[in-house]
Structure 1
Amino acid sequence: MSRFESAQPLAGNTRYSDYLARTTLRAWVGMSFVSATLIILAGLLLSWLIPYLAGGADSIVPHFYYVPILFAAARFGPGAALVVALVAGVLAGPLTYVDVAAATAQETERWLTRTAFFVGIGQLMAWLVIPALHPVTEELRRMRQEFDIRRGLKHNEFFLRYQPIYSIRQHRFVGVEALIRWQHPAHGELTPADFLDVAEDSSLIHDIGAQVIAEACRQTEEWKTLAQVHGREPWYTAINLSARDFIRPELAYDVASALKRHHLPPELLTIELTETVLALEDAEPALEALKHLGVQLAIDDFGTGYSSLAYLNRFPIDTLKLDRQLVSSLGHDPSAEDLARGIALLAGSLGLKTVAEGIETRDQIGLSEELGFDRIQGFYFARPLTADEIPSLLLIEEVDPDHPPTPSGARA
């Protein structure tokens, strides 16, 4: 038998041991505070009761105390391990007779030595476990949040807020960007930064994306009807999808179904994608299919990567959205202005629209107009609004940027 063959069972056993240790640690760390505390108390009580029923410390060595001590070290850390070890020392020492029938007390040196071992083993265990606690704790956090997201989707806790998009040339709002939010029952309103990373590691991101598509189309059709009744131009809605959605064959079908179900013209829906999507070879069929539907495509955060230019002719892009960090540098950094002007000229030569996001001051509006941007959005006009706050802006025929309107019912 070769060395490799003889080593295989050992490697398998090692992997199984690692798996078992990790699984055990995950179960311990994931246990609630109350449950873990009760287990420790029960372990201490049982560890004291066994020697007592056996007749005393001379009848059975009190090693059972190591179980609650090690559990406390893994679950709560060095501090809890020290407390439990000291309590164990008292239970295994002054409170445990050498001979229960004769009521013979233990020698002080004997139980102090045992207590020192309890403390030492508990601290060693706690410090050995610390490096593994963070990844296990993070894993448990993500598992809990994944379960929470699934529950939130089932109970319709996810909803959209909308930030108006202003046309510099038309002097009015022409659309909105839909932004996903989660009305968590315990933590209040959460932004994508609080949950998307977990959703993207599972299939839940597709469920969120499908909900965004359906709700955005439904709401846009409702606003289109309202605009037509009052003789206004309908607004378009821009939505953001995960890179994982663009490698899903069903994406174009889901979009087509939502458009048809809500009788929405495809040109009123814009799908924003990042440069990451453009770098995915599997994303090209989805982009072509979406463009075939008549949906508008926009590159989000343009100006932050170095390879976006290579994709402009390859993919059917309609709009470039300048990154908010680049926009925030306008008026302070000459190189940022040069870059922004270059992007505007490039977009114009390719027949693409430009949207500058992150506009927060009146000076940035003036610079945006000077640099040749088509549209802008940002907190200067409004923070992301609820659907009920949009109609009051939709019915405004012309917007004075010096005096931006306040949506009816908007939050302060």
Structure 2
Amino acid sequence: MDARTAFRLLADGLSREPARDFFPWLALRLASIVEADALAIVRVIPGGRAAHTLSLCIDGAIVDNVDYVLAGTPCEQVTEHRVCLFARDVVKDFPDDIMLADLGAEAYLGVPVLTLDDKLVGLIAAIYRRPLTNGGVAQEVLSIAAARVGSELANQRAEFALASTERQLADTHHRLARTNHALTLLRLVNRVVIRSADEMALLSEVCRLAVEEGGYQLAWTGLAQGEEKRIMPLTCSGEGQEFLDECRFSWSAESPEGQAPCGRTIREQTAQLLSPLVTSPDYAPFADAAARYSLATEVALPLHLGSDRQGVLVLLMNTALEVSDDELMLLQELADNLSWGVSALRLRREQERMQQVVLDVAEAVTARSNDQFFSHLAQRLAGVMMADAALIMRVDDGVPLSASLEAGVVDGQPVENFSFEFSGMPCGENFHSAERVITQGVATDFPLIERLMGERFQAWVDRRLEDASGDAIGVIILLFRQPLMAGYDSPRHLLRIFAAGAAAELERRRSDSHIRHLAYFDPGTGLPNRVHFMERLHGAILKSRQEGHRLALMFLDLNRFKEINDSQGHDVGDQVLREVATRFAACLARGESLARLGGDEFVVMVERADEIHSAQVVGRLLNALANPVLCDGHRFNLDVSIGVAFYPEDGDGPRELLKNTDIAMYHAKECGSGYRFYAPEMGRDLSRRLILATRLKEALKNEKLELRYQPIVALGSGNLVGAEVLCRWFDNELGWISPIEFIAVAEERGMISQLGEWVMSDACRQLAQWEEMQVAVLPERLYVNLAARQFEDPLLTQQLCDIVGRAGVSPDRLGLEITEGGFMQDPEQAVRTTEQLCKRGFVLSIDDFGTGYSSLTYLKRFAAYAVKIDKSFVSDMLTDSNDYSIIETIIAMADRLGLRTVAEGVETQAQASALKSMGCNLAQGYLFSRPLAAEEFQRLWLVESNPSMNVVGDGVVASRD
């Protein structure tokens, strides 16, 4: 190849294009230009003893790169910064060069690759299978190429150094940032440690700070549990707290779970770091959960929570990274300070609780409390006291006084559980004594001991166990086969220490049992409470779902129970509830459970139930209250409303099912049927009531209600004598809403007093306006309905006086109407209220008379002006002889009591004539007029030409516009 062609190809080979790999391209070009059988571009590894090919071309093709040792090769001489040419027999000159031998090399040409500062970084070697006769052009070509290769290697090195520097800077910045976070966290934790007064609050706050200030995703503290070698999480904060619920942590060296950092930390009492978590074999039991919650790095730090309590602080991150020594050191300091804080808190509590220094030997009996506590205590007690038998007894509640075995040993072997009455035992003679010693004669004087223990003992020592209040809760008994020496006293101070430990554990267990009972049982009735029942219901639903059977839930609410509390007091009410609970429980069978939700509400769950079975249970519950409840000299006739719903059709969860039973109970109470099974439309009714309650509240607030006035006329003269004030409500979305519906909602939701005050205020305002206008005809008075809830208010009289006073009208222009049921709820209060109202000038009418259960004894004492005959009697009076007779009786009775009578719902001339002939004074109804708006009532009735009544013979005719 001529020189021009060679250098043109060289120039092409030295150019670098992004689309092709530089070194293989150059090797191919160089091998072609210098006509070499093999050509290698080599980088010399620092130290100069080995090399690595950057590109190797053999017979015109690129092959895999190789590493080789320079010693014994011609390349070794090239590393001395000089060109090496071996024109022939190169294999003979370098017999140890395997590569040359494998290639069948005859000639070798090597050129060093140097940097600008003359440092060797590599070489280019051309190998020939023939002698090289003229290597001048080849040497020039390779020298030019070597300069370009040196430049390329220098550039690569610079780029690598720059990238490495950037990575180091980023790592340094990240480490500094995390170290700064750790410093900040340490400062904040120290402040919390100093100020905290509660151990759990301290641990919780440290977890919160670790997440919010330390930048960790999840932080938790755990306590090492002894024999099970489990780690129980205590407090936690951050994202993925469910991770703790899914994992069971251990500190056992034999357990796979114990290989995680938290377990190793507790075992080795050193800080542990693991990252990444998901791929680490030590984290295999938790890998799936860690992946779900994106946990990648864990730092575990040992906590010392007291002499026998080891714990761990675990910090988890969502990125896999190395924690610097500085950060780890700060975190360890944080854990040490936290341990000190917890220990200080525990020590402070101990100092406050303890009143005397505990003897050193007490450590022998302060073992960790667990199921084996009393067994171990009895074993050690017998050994220390050199007794043949040691018994730890718990005093039982009840009469006669008795005790049950907590733990006991005879000759080191456990004793089977038994109990005994104190009568006939040494401790029964004077149990008030703190300690008794009988040195001999026990077998003879107290034979019951041999019957209980199965063998004879001659000596006895016991120590009374007391709680913090000084009450007896147990007794420690030591038995000896041989008599004791007189004045036995050697290790009795140790017995006091054992007794203190046993008493403390008995009291703790009693407290735990009591706390659990308080948490899960109703104190008034002893029944399971809402919390306990909801847990049982949840479990029953899961079981029903798995086994595919139905479950019935019944909501029970006593009717009018509030009256007992209000009239007799809560003590009597509580006694009644206990008796009711006893009766309900007695009528239930297996698979039927009872609980008290609160107040006078109970609930019954029936497993594997259908409609027939449920109806039978309901029947038993209703029948349980068939007989009166006798309490404190009183007889209470009670009944109950029961709502029934079924799983799964009426609710797929505990809350929804309970809600639907409540809805069904409400409907049962509303219709007085005793019980109702839930139906979907009941929920819709409740939803409408909720909507009505909300919109009624808004209507009252914004005065969107309206008043209507229905005239009351004198049957004798036909003149207008008054008008009943009726409330109406039109809602923009719901339209006209029946008074029956919205008044019931107002009573149910506690808005009836507010509604009544508004009606009274607006009626007084309208009356004052008519008086001011000096209309031609003014009704004697307006009649306003009072709700029973208003009538029960002892401040009602003053409130009504305030309303009429603000309006500027006289009280005698207002009639107040109340139903029989309203004033009979508390007759004595009703008598007092009516007397007060009459003294102030108000007129009282009894509405819907004949539909309630009035007592004539009370009725004659009411300061009433009139009674209103309910329209239910008037509507059928001409066709139903019973209704006709009732009306005659009411009119006659009212006449004898000096009361006026007003007939409601008069719609026909015949009804009016008949009422007049019976002596009825007044009437109202559609025969005369429908309820009218104020403007229309004024236009039609408050004028000289109002629709007066014309008496024609025995008939009554109403003239209208």
TM-score, structure 2 as length reference: 0.30
Q: What pairs up with 1:172-183 in 2 under 5 angstroms?
A: 172-183=719-730
Following the alignment from structure 1 to structure 2, what is the Cα–Cα distance between the partners of residues 124 and 360? 51
Which residue is equivalent to 1:37?
A: none
Q: Which residue of structure 2 lines up, in the alignment, with residue 250 of structure 1?
A: 795
2:942 alignment partner in structure 1: 394
Q: 1:148 to 1:269 in 2, by over 3 A?
A: same
Q: Which amino acid aligns with 1:158?
A: L
TM-aligned CA distance change 1:4 to 1:181, over 3 Å? farther
1:187 matches 2:734: yes
Provide the secondary structure at the position in 2 that maps to 1:315: coil
How many angstroms does 1:264 deviate by? 1.7
Alignment check: 8 A CA contact 1:145 1:198 kept = yes
CA distance in 2, matches of 1:128, 1:229: 62
Distance 1:282 1:143, change over 3 A: farther
String of CA shifts for 1:282-315, please: whole Å, max 9, x gaps.
Answer: 3333322211111100000112234242322211
**Percent identity for Structure 1 against Structure 2:** 32
CA 289–148 in structure 1, closer or farther in 2 if over 3 Å, else same:
same
The answer to whether the 8 Å contact 1:180/1:192 transfers is yes
Shift of the 223–308 alpha-carbon distance from structure 1 to 2, 3 Å rule, reads farther
Amino acid at match of 2:870: D
Matching of residue 303 in structure 1 with residue 303 in structure 2: no
Offset at residue 249 of structure 1 (A): 3.0
Residue among 269, 272, 275 paired with 2:817: 272
Per-residue deviation at 1:381?
A: 1.5
Going from structure 1 to structure 2, the CA distance change for 1:364 and 1:131 (only over 3 Å counts) comes to farther
The alignment partner of 2:863 has SS state of coil
The answer to whether the 8 A contact 2:794-2:833 is kept is yes
> How many angstroms does 1:20 deviate by?
9.6
Cα distance change of structure 1 residues 135 and 141 upon mapping to structure 2, 3 Å threshold: farther
Whole-Å Cα distance in 2 between the matches of residues 3 and 306 of structure 1? 53
One-letter amino acid of the structure 1 residue matched with residue 810 of structure 2 = P
1:252-401 equivalence runs, <5 A: 252-279=797-824, 280=826, 281-391=828-938, 392-395=940-943, 396=945, 398-400=948-950, 401=956
Q: Which moved more, 1:302-311 or 1:125-134?
A: 125-134
What TM-score, normalized by structure 1, do the two folds share?
0.67
Which residue among 1, 4, 9 is the counterpart of 2:519? 9
1:65-103, Cα deviation, whole Å (9 max, x unpaired): xxxxxxxxxxxxxxxxxxxxxxxxxxxxxxxxxxxxxxx
Preserved CA contact (<8 Å) 1:163 1:385: yes
Measure the CA separation in 2 of the matches of 1:321 and 1:142.
30
Distance 1:144 1:344, change over 3 A: same
Structure 2 vs 1, CA of residues 243 and 154 (structure 1 numbering), >3 Å: closer, same or farther? Answer: same
CA contact (8 A) 1:161 1:384 kept: yes
Shift of 1:206: 1.1
Residue 246 of structure 1, CA deviation: 1.0
Cα distance in 2 for residues equivalent to 1:293 and 1:126: 59
Aligned equivalents of 1:145 and 1:20: distance in 2? 34
**C-alpha distance in 1, partners of 2:784/2:520?**
53
Deviations 1:165-200 (A, max 9, x none): 111122122111111111212112222212122211
What is the deviation of 1:17? 6.7
In 2, the alpha carbon distance for the partners of 1:335 and 1:350 equals: 22
The aligned residue for residue 404 of structure 1 is 959
Which structure dedicates a bigger proportion of its chain to helix?
A: 1
* Alpha-carbon shift at residue 253 of structure 1 (Å): 1.8
Q: 1:307 to 1:385 in 2, by over 3 A?
A: same
Q: Does the 8 A contact of 2:521 with 2:532 survive in 1?
A: no
Q: How big is each residue's C-alpha offset from its partner over 1:21-53, in whole Å with a ceiling of 9 and x where there is no partner?
A: 99xxxxxxxxxxxxxxxxxxxxxxxxxxxxxxx
**Counterpart secondary structure, 1:176:** strand
Output the CA distance in 1 between the equivalents of 2:806 and 2:719: 29
Residue aligned with 2:745, SS: helix
Q: 1:201 to 1:169 in 2, by over 3 A?
A: same
- Equivalent in the alignment of 2:762: 215
Q: Is the 8 A contact 1:163 1:383 kept in 2?
A: yes
**CA distance in structure 2 between the aligned counterparts of 1:273 and 1:244, rounded to whole angstroms:** 10
The residue identity in structure 2 corresponding to 1:305 is G
Q: CA RMSD in A?
A: 2.9
Tell me by how many angstroms 1:237 deviates: 0.7
Distance 1:149 1:321 in 2: 29
Q: Closer, same or farther in 2 for the Cα pair 1:338/1:3, shift >3 Å? A: farther
- Partner Cα separation in structure 2 for residue 201 and residue 403 of structure 1: 40
Q: Distance in 1 between matches of 2:882 and 2:687?
A: 45
SS at match of 2:770: helix
CA contact (8 A) 1:161 1:386 kept: yes
Judging changes above 3 Å, is the alpha-carbon distance between structure 1 residues 312 and 126 closer, same or farther for their aligned structure 2 residues?
closer
Matched, 1:154 2:698: no
Mapping for residues 61-80 of structure 1, pairs under 5 Å: none
Counterpart of 2:209 in structure 1 is none
SS in 1 for 2:717: coil
The residue identity in structure 1 corresponding to 2:766 is Q
What is the aligned counterpart of 1:201 among 740, 743, 748? 748
The 10-residue stretch of structure 1 (123-132 or 319-328) with the greater mean CA deviation from structure 2: 123-132
The alpha-carbon deviation at position 268 of structure 1 amounts to 1.6
1:83 aligned residue: none
Q: Is the 8 A contact 1:162 1:177 kept in 2?
A: yes
Inter-partner Cα distance in structure 1 for 2:791 and 2:842: 14
Local SS of the residue matching 1:402: strand
2:746 is the alignment partner of 1:236 = no
Partners of 2:701 and 2:751 in 1: CA distance: 11
The Cα shift of 1:333 comes to 1.8
Aligned partner of residue 864 in structure 2, secondary structure: coil
State the distance in 2 between where 1:177 and 1:314 align: 25
1:147–1:376: structure 2 CA closer, same or farther, 3 Å change rule? Answer: same
Q: Which runs of 5+ in 1 are unaligned?
A: 23-122, 407-412
- Structure 1 contact 301–323 (Cα < 8 Å) conserved: yes
SS at match of 2:878: coil
CA distance in 2, matches of 1:134, 1:210: 35
Distance (Å, rounded) in 1 between the aligned partners of 2:810 and 2:517: 65
Measure, in 1, the Cα distance between the counterparts of 2:921 and 2:757: 29
More strand by share: 2
Preserved CA contact (<8 Å) 1:220 1:235: no
Q: Distance between the aligned counterparts of 1:148 and 1:209, measured in 2? A: 17
Please give the secondary structure, in 1, of the residue aligned with 2:730: strand
Contact 1:224 1:235 in 2 (8 A): no
Q: Distance in 2 between matches of 1:19 and 1:216?
A: 50
| SS at structure 2 position matched to 1:195 | helix
For residues 887 and 769 of structure 2, the distance between their equivalents in structure 1, rounded to whole angstroms, comes to: 35
Cα 1:14–1:251 shift into 2, 3 Å: closer
AA of the residue aligned to 2:869? L
Is the CA contact 1:359–1:376 (under 8 Å) kept in the aligned structure 2? yes
CA distance in 2, matches of 1:306, 1:234: 32
- Tell me by how many angstroms 1:141 deviates: 4.5
